[in-house]
Structure formats: C-alpha cells, structure tokens
Amino acid sequence: MISKKMRATLAGSSVIRQMFEEGNRLAKIHGAENVFDFSIGNPNVKPPEKVKTVIKEILDNEDPNYIHGYMSNSGYEDVREGIAQDLNKKHGLNLTYKNVAMTVGAGGGLSIVFKTILDPDDEVITFAPYFGPYGNYIDDCQGKLVVVPSKMGTFEPDTKALEAAITPKTKAVIINSPNNPTGVVYKEAVIKELADLLTKKSAEMNNTIYIVSDDPYREIVYDGIDVPYMLNYYKNTFGVYSYSKSLSLPGERIGYVAFSPEMDEAEEVEICLSNATRNIGYTNAPSLFQRVILECLDETVEVDVYKRNRDLLYNHLLDLGFECAKPEGAFYLFAKTLVPDDKAFVQAAKKYNLLAVPGSAFGCPGYMRMSYCISYDKIERSLNAWTQLANEFKK
Amino acid sequence: MISKKMRATLAGSSVIRQMFEEGNRLAKIHGAENVFDFSIGNPNVKPPEKVKTVIKEILDNEDPNYIHGYMSNSGYEDVREGIAQDLNKKHGLNLTYKNVAMTVGAGGGLSIVFKTILDPDDEVITFAPYFGPYGNYIDDCQGKLVVVPSKMGTFEPDTKALEAAITPKTKAVIINSPNNPTGVVYKEAVIKELADLLTKKSAEMNNTIYIVSDDPYREIVYDGIDVPYMLNYYKNTFGVYSYSKSLSLPGERIGYVAFSPEMDEAEEVEICLSNATRNIGYTNAPSLFQRVILECLDETVEVDVYKRNRDLLYNHLLDLGFECAKPEGAFYLFAKTLVPDDKAFVQAAKKYNLLAVPGSAFGCPGYMRMSYCISYDKIERSLNAWTQLANEFKK
C-alpha cells in the first residue's frame, strides 16, 4: 500500500506536467507540428556550440574515472571555486568555493536549502503567481507555504502584504526574478524594500528570515534591463541557480546554491547543504556537467530568439484584447483569460490545439501562462488559432 | 538559523565521507600515490570505451534540445522500455516502460521508493552490517529504520531475527546483494525464505510489506556465482539499480527503479514514483546519460580487475590473521578488527596512511570495511603497511 501522503498526490499531479503529457498525446494524433504547445518551459534555443566541444574535449583528455566519479557531495572544489570567482567578477562579491554547492538543478537546490533551514510547521512566504513545485519542496520538509499576492499590474512583490504575513514561524521568503510565470523583473527599489523589511523583521522576531532567490532566468532578459543580485542586498540570501535556461540544459539537472560568507552560521550552512544532498539521495550534482559548466561560465544562449518570440506573441495577444504585463525576462507570458474561469478557458483552447497552463496552477486564477520557448515559425502558425479562440469568447 | 534536524547532523557527518575527505587531505600532504585510501566505493576500473563513443555519437547526431531537454519525470519512454526489455531478456520477466522509473542513481531511487511507500512512523527493516545512508533516506520520510543482525559468518539475512522484528508498522525490508560492506551474495535458498516469510506476514498483518532490493553491484560478481533477481521471487519488490558500478559512472547519478506489473497498486506506484521525483526537486534523471544507457545495456566494466584486487588483499589479510568472509561480489572486504574497538583500530591505521571505514558506520562494530576498487599497484604497495599495522596490534 502506498503512503497516504503520496496517495493524496495521485489526483493532483502537476498541471504543467499534465499539459506536457497532453501535448505529447495530441502530437501523436495530430502530428507534433500541428500542436501549439505553450505549456512547459523546455527551451528550444540551442545550447551554445561550446557545450558540445567542451564535452568532447573533456572525454578525450581527462581521466574517465575522475570525470564520471564521485567527488565531495557539494561538488568538485575547482568547479565551485570557478563559479564563486565568476559571481565575484559579475557582482562584486567575495565568495569562495565554500559558499557554492553544486546541485541537481534549481529544483534540487531549492530542496536542499529548505532541508537546511526548515523544521516542521515552519513557514515560507512567496508571492502569487508562483511556481507550483515550491509547495512540494516545502511540504517535503513538513513546512508550510504561505502565499501573499503580488502587486496586480506590475506583479512585483507586495511588501505590505508580506509584512502582514510574517509570523514567528516565518523562516524564509521566496522571490523569483525574472519571474515564472509573469516574466517580470524586480527593480532595485523593491529589492531594497524587501531587504530592509526582512532585516527589521528578523531583529523583531529574533530569528533569521532568509531570502531564497530562485534565479534560473537571470540571464534571460530583454532590452538591457538590469536584474539586481539579491546577495548584494541581503546577507541571509540563498541564490539558487540552474543552467537549464541560460545554457538550454534543463534535462541535465545542473545548478548551484550560492550564499554569502557573511550569512548567519555560514560554516554550518555549508555542511548542512552537503549533508542534505546526501540525505535525499542525490549524492552529488552530475559530474561531467559540473566539469562542462566550469568551461562555459561565459556562455549563454541567444536571448534574442526569445525576444523575437515575445514580441510576436505579445503583440498579437494585445491586438486580440488580452491584458498582459510585458515580459522583461524569462520566456513566459501571463495573460488574463477572457473569462474568469481560467481552467475552462484553457480547456477551450485545446480545441484549437493550443496548450497553456491555467493561472490557478500558479495560485492566480483568471490568468494563463504561455511558454514562448518554442520555434518562431510555430508561434506564427499559432496566431490564427489564438484569433479563433478569442473570437469564440467575444461572441 | 538552520533547522534543528539538520543541526543534529553536523556532528555526525557520514563516516565514509569523512574518510574520503581525510584521504584528500592526506593526499595533499603525502602525495596521492602514498595514501592507501580504501574508504570509498569510487570505482577505478575504466568505464567501457563504448560510453565515450556513444556520447560523441549522440552529440553529433541528435537534436541538442532533445538530448539535454526535459522529458517525463520518470524518464524518456524509449529508455525505460529498453531497460524493461533488457530485464525481461535477462530474467524472464514481463515488464514494460511503465514498470521502470529512471532515477538520480540508486540513492535517488531508494529515496523516491521510500517517499512512495512510507508514512510517518512506518518502519523499514534491514540487516546489519548495512549501508548507512538507508537511515537518512528513511528519516527524510519520518520513517524509522529497524536493524536486525545478519547471520554472523555468512552475513546472509537472518530470517528468524527478521520475523521477530516485523510489526504492523513494517512497510518494507531492504536487502542488498552483492552486499556493501561484506561482498556476500545471497543464495536462492535465503531469497525464497524471505519471499515466503513476507508473503505470510503481509497476509497476517493485512498490509503490503515490500522488499526494496538495492542492486547496484549486481554485475560485479566473481567465479561465475549466480545472483537471484528478487523480482522473480516476490511480486512486491522494488529493484533499485544504478550504473555507478557496472559502468563506473557513480558521479553521473544514473539508475532506475523497476517493479513488477503484478505489484499491488502497480498503476498508482508508477504515478507516485514520478510525483516523488518532482516533489524532492530531482525533476528527472540526467537526460544525456539516460540516452547513453539505452545504447550500453549490454556493457559492463572488466570485473576481473576487481577479482585480482580481491585475491591480493584478501590473501594478505588472511596471512596476517584477519578474519574475513571471502567476497563473492561488489568490491569490499569486511574484516574483523584486531581489537574490538573498530574506531580506534581504524584511527591507528591512519599512521600507516591506510584509510578504512569502521564497521560501526554500518551498524556492525568490531569490523572494518576496505574498498578495493583502487589500483592493483597501490594495493601491492599497501601490503607492507597492513603488515606493520597488524604487527603493532600483535605486540
């Protein structure tokens, strides 16, 4: 007999994943080219060519037992040091390898951060709309996710709502900028507000309230917009990163957690992140891709491809009368559905082979998310389907 | 402030990992060639050449967004089907891809199995000596590890002790053959005994008691000995496998969980394994190595290299008066220490740059584990150090 806890998950599998599976199902019926699958953040821009050449060089020149072997649970020391130096260069920090733990993607990173800081019934606050799996990671630590709204319109954190939600049990606040699902980038003003508020509240509660900054989209930004790096504003920040988007390697599960040497109990945190990696069975981030990352620190995918996609889809949706914040980063559009029932709207979209994710999957009903990390050509061919969908609801 | 639960782990980091780090420290002082590190199961036999050629072929011929991209949480369907067919061919089973979930190594596999079946306070039984992280994975589900002794001498499961330990809270029994740390292979007679006992007890308790068969060493066996496959004997078996040892890829974190279509609630189990993979942040097993495995199902490392190592070390230790079961598989020797205090003995060994792991790390004080997956040359050069150590304790 399976566990009661897991039995409860049978009904509520991830809506995003359900859509992804639905897309695969429809593709088998109608042909992949005829299904307009905007459901999942699976990058379509090619990884930099250097990823491939570096893999081959490593295979040809290094000892296979080293590159495929065990290392310390937190990763190869030289890889961790390389990332620390890269962050120092980019953000003016003073990290060493001790402040970087290699992880099984950002999901794995979030998971070990919560293992490190949460006791049962501890609370973690985030802003709706938010990435659904946060709730799973926190629940797996018997913690509780507390959701407060973003400022509607700008979708930036509502610090007033945050302040009202903080209790003595609050252990962390999750932020995500560039944001999934809205594409919004948090400006420096709100980042400073967050830092000031949490510094004040930590003192008031006599408790460290961490910021967990989920940063996988940091490199995917448009129009030269600046993304403030949270470690520069608040010492008790975990910067959780993944190369899933910046190098188009989501399946390889390679990322890291970075934290400041000034973090409270920094030495203990280093050990706990390592122990947590072992305790949940990851053991370590995949070894070959750790070594690949070390050689690809200056690489990113062609962000302009996503920008073209954004412009095409955003402008068309606006023409059709959709309301939508213009994404400044990531590769998602978060638009108001034309009827309040977002699930019904997304269901109706399937008739036109359009797959999107209802906003309620992100704690924000009345909206839908479209991932535009698919080919420009396919977005172009989908425009008519979006028009048909809009017309159906205008009648 | 870090969590209370993790704070408690600060003192008791894995003994195996501590030794591994100690080995790295000593290597910096004395030179790696002068440190005889028998502490960790990090294979030294090269991966098959085909692993390298297959990686290059995949990189050259397949769409990078496919081979590095997201797929279903349980893995690529064709990889899962390939493994199912391979198991069917080798063991006369009738699995399909639905019965195989790709995992982040065996550790990741054990973790999602326990997430699937354990509620808080559920009990899982294993036999000492046992692989320490089992306790961590179970604790992470708020379950309880119950340890019963093996039969001393043969180190096979003591089914009488097992029967006495089963309660209404017993959810699973972990077996591990070829065994870490003893190298013992369980014979068919005891496998049948286990199956009969758990069939009887499951009925008596009106509860499914699973067998979790931790099988990463299945291919590492000597002298043509047969390793019975547990799925053939007990329908409620999870077969947890990793390519860490059979292909010398421990750092790549690639393995799977297989289960019989006749398992109780097989369909629900399939979904729960997938959900668990997402809930703890793995998301999926590394994508490129999933595709590599599909092309390397018939490959294994040169097991004879380990056999030569076993013979060299085993014969020398026997000559020195150590008591030790002759390993039939895996690459570990588990010998009685020359004084009852195994930690003191292992500490003394460090003087001679010999690193081993005390048996108490495996729930079996008075012994030590030596991993002989290091070079033959180094084992040869270590023999004098073992002699000096033995002489010290004979004085």
Cα gap A291→A79, rounded to integer Å = 7
Q: In a 3-state reduction of DSSP, which class is residue B105?
A: helix
Number of H helices, E strands in chain B: 14, 12
Cα gap A345→B260, rounded to integer Å = 40
Contact A271/B10, CB-based, under 8 Å? yes
Contact A46/B59, CB-based, under 8 Å? no
Cα gap B293→A102, rounded to integer Å = 24
Rounded (10°) angle between helices B287-295 and B49-61: 120
Q: Are A287 and A305 within one domain?
A: no
Tell me, what's the pLDDT at B33?
Answer: 87
Cα gap B271→B277, rounded to integer Å = 10
Tell me, what's the pLDDT at A200?
Answer: 98
Find which of A3-7, A10-14, B16-20, B355-359 is predicted with most confidence, using mean pLDDT.
Answer: B355-359
Q: What is the CATH number of the domain that holds A386?
A: 3.90.1150.10
Contact B140/A280, CB-based, under 8 Å? yes
**Residues of A with CB below 8 A from B107's CB?**
278, 281-283
| ipTM here | 0.95
* Tens digit of each residue's pLDDT (9 = 90 or more) over A257-286: 999 999 999 999 999 999 999 999 999 999
Asked if B187 contacts B151 with a C-beta cutoff of 8 angstroms, the reply is no
Q: Are B56 and B43 within one domain?
A: no
Let me know if residue A61 belongs to a domain. Answer: no
Q: Are B91 and B114 within one domain?
A: yes
Tell me, what's the pLDDT at A8?
Answer: 82
Q: Are B17 and B164 within one domain?
A: no
**B57: nearest CA partner in chain A:** A56
Tell me, what's the pLDDT at A369?
Answer: 97
Asked if B269 contacts B212 with a C-beta cutoff of 8 angstroms, the reply is no
Asked if A58 contacts A291 with a C-beta cutoff of 8 angstroms, the reply is yes
Tell me, what's the pLDDT at A74?
Answer: 97
Mutate to test the interface with A, among B37, B246, B282 (most CBs of A within 10 A): B282
Q: Are B316 and B169 within one domain?
A: no
Q: What percent of chain A has pLDDT over 90?
A: 89
Q: Of A295, A318, A344, at which residue does a domain stop?
A: A295
The residue among A236, A181, A182 whose CA lies nearest residue A213 is A236
Contact A283/B253, CB-based, under 8 Å? yes
Arithmetic mean of pLDDT, B101-105: 98
Cα gap A313→A370, rounded to integer Å = 9
Cα gap B367→B182, rounded to integer Å = 10
The residue among A170, A162, A223, A220 whose CA lies nearest residue A195 is A162
Arithmetic mean of pLDDT, A349-373: 95
Q: What is the CATH number of the domain that holds B288?
A: 3.40.640.10
Name the pTM for this structure.
0.96
* Tens digit of each residue's pLDDT (9 = 90 or more) over A106-164: 999 999 999 999 999 999 999 999 999 999 999 999 999 999 999 988 999 999 999 99
* Tens digit of each residue's pLDDT (9 = 90 or more) over A289-331: 999 999 999 999 999 999 999 999 999 999 999 999 999 999 9
Give Rg (Cα) of chain A: 21
Arithmetic mean of pLDDT, A367-375: 96
Q: Of B262, B295, B328, at which residue does a domain stop?
A: B295
Q: What's the number of domains chain A is made of?
A: 2
Q: Is the pLDDT of residue A13 over 70?
A: no
Contact B107/A140, CB-based, under 8 Å? no
Tell me, what's the pLDDT at B7?
Answer: 86
Q: Is the pLDDT of residue A12 over 80?
A: no
Arithmetic mean of pLDDT, B356-362: 95
Confidence of residue B40 (pLDDT cuts 50, 70, 90): confident
Q: How far away is chain A from the Cα of B202, in angstroms, using its nearest Cα? A: 11
Q: Are B97 and B230 within one domain?
A: yes
SS (H, E, C) chain A: CCCHHHHHHHHCCCHHHHHHHHHHHHHHHHCHHHCEECCCCCCCCCCCHHHHHHHHHHHHHCCHHHHCCCCCCCCCHHHHHHHHHHHHHHHCCCCCHHHEEEECHHHHHHHHHHHHHCCCCCEEEEEECCCCHHHHHHHCCCCEEEEEEECCCCCCECHHHHHHHCCCCEEEEEECCCCCCCCCCCCHHHHHHHHHHHHHHHHHHCCCCEEEEECCCCCCECCCCCCCCHHHCCCCEEEEEEHHHHCCCHHHCCEEEEECCCCCCHHHHHHHHHHHHHHCCCCCCCHHHHHHHHHCCCCCCCHHHHHHHHHHHHHHHHHCCCCECCCCECCEEEEECCCCCHHHHHHHHHCCCEECEEHHHHCCCCEEEEECCCCHHHHHHHHHHHHHHHHHHHC
* Tens digit of each residue's pLDDT (9 = 90 or more) over B128-137: 999 999 999 9
Mutate to test the interface with B, among A136, A280, A375 (most CBs of B within 10 A): A280
Let me know if residue A58 belongs to a domain. Answer: no
Tell me, what's the pLDDT at A16?
Answer: 75
Question: What are the structure tokens assigned to B173, written together?
Answer: 């029994």
Q: What is the largest CA-CA distance in chain B?
A: 66
Q: Are B155 and B207 within one domain?
A: yes
Q: Are A180 and A194 within one domain?
A: yes
Q: Is the pLDDT of residue B370 over 70?
A: yes
The residue among B72, B122, B129, B128 whose CA lies nearest residue B97 is B72
Neighbours of A146 (CB within 10 A): 17
Mutate to test the interface with B, among A7, A16, A24, A282 (most CBs of B within 10 A): A282
Range of the domain at A204: 69-295
Q: How far away is chain B from the Cα of A140, in angstroms, using its nearest Cα? A: 7
Contact A142/B140, CB-based, under 8 Å? no
Q: Of A295, A330, A363, at which residue does a domain stop?
A: A295
Confidence of residue B395 (pLDDT cuts 50, 70, 90): low
**Residues of A with CB below 8 A from B47's CB?**
64-65, 68
The residue among A239, A240, A247 whose CA lies nearest residue A219 is A247
Confidence of residue A82 (pLDDT cuts 50, 70, 90): very high
Confidence of residue A395 (pLDDT cuts 50, 70, 90): low
Quick one: which H or E segment has residue B120? none
B357: β partners: B369
**A109: nearest CA partner in chain B:** B281
Of A40, A107, A248, the CB nearest to B281: A107
Confidence of residue A2 (pLDDT cuts 50, 70, 90): confident
* Whole-number average pLDDT of chain A: 95
Tell me, what's the pLDDT at B81?
Answer: 98
Confidence of residue B13 (pLDDT cuts 50, 70, 90): low
Arithmetic mean of pLDDT, B22-51: 91
Q: Is the pLDDT of residue B23 over 90?
A: no
**A271: nearest CA partner in chain B:** B10
Q: Are B235 and B338 within one domain?
A: no
Q: How far away is chain B from the Cα of A267, in angstroms, using its nearest Cα? A: 10
Let me know if residue A164 belongs to a domain. Answer: yes
Of A1, A51, A278, the CB nearest to B265: A1
Distances (CA, A) of B4 to A114, A119, A211, B138, B212: 12, 7, 19, 17, 29
Confidence of residue A24 (pLDDT cuts 50, 70, 90): confident
- Residue that the structure tokens 């962050």 belong to: A87
Q: Are A333 and A280 within one domain?
A: no
**B276: nearest CA partner in chain A:** A6
**Residues of B with CB below 8 A from A248's CB?**
64-65, 68-69
Asked if A328 contacts A183 with a C-beta cutoff of 8 angstroms, the reply is yes
Question: What are the structure tokens assigned to B77, written together?
Answer: 């369907």
Q: Are B312 and B284 within one domain?
A: no
Cα gap B358→B39, rounded to integer Å = 9
Q: Which residues contact A266 (CB under 8 A, 6 or more apart)?
A: A98, A99, A259, A260
Q: Are B136 and B71 within one domain?
A: yes
Asked if A101 contacts A274 with a C-beta cutoff of 8 angstroms, the reply is yes
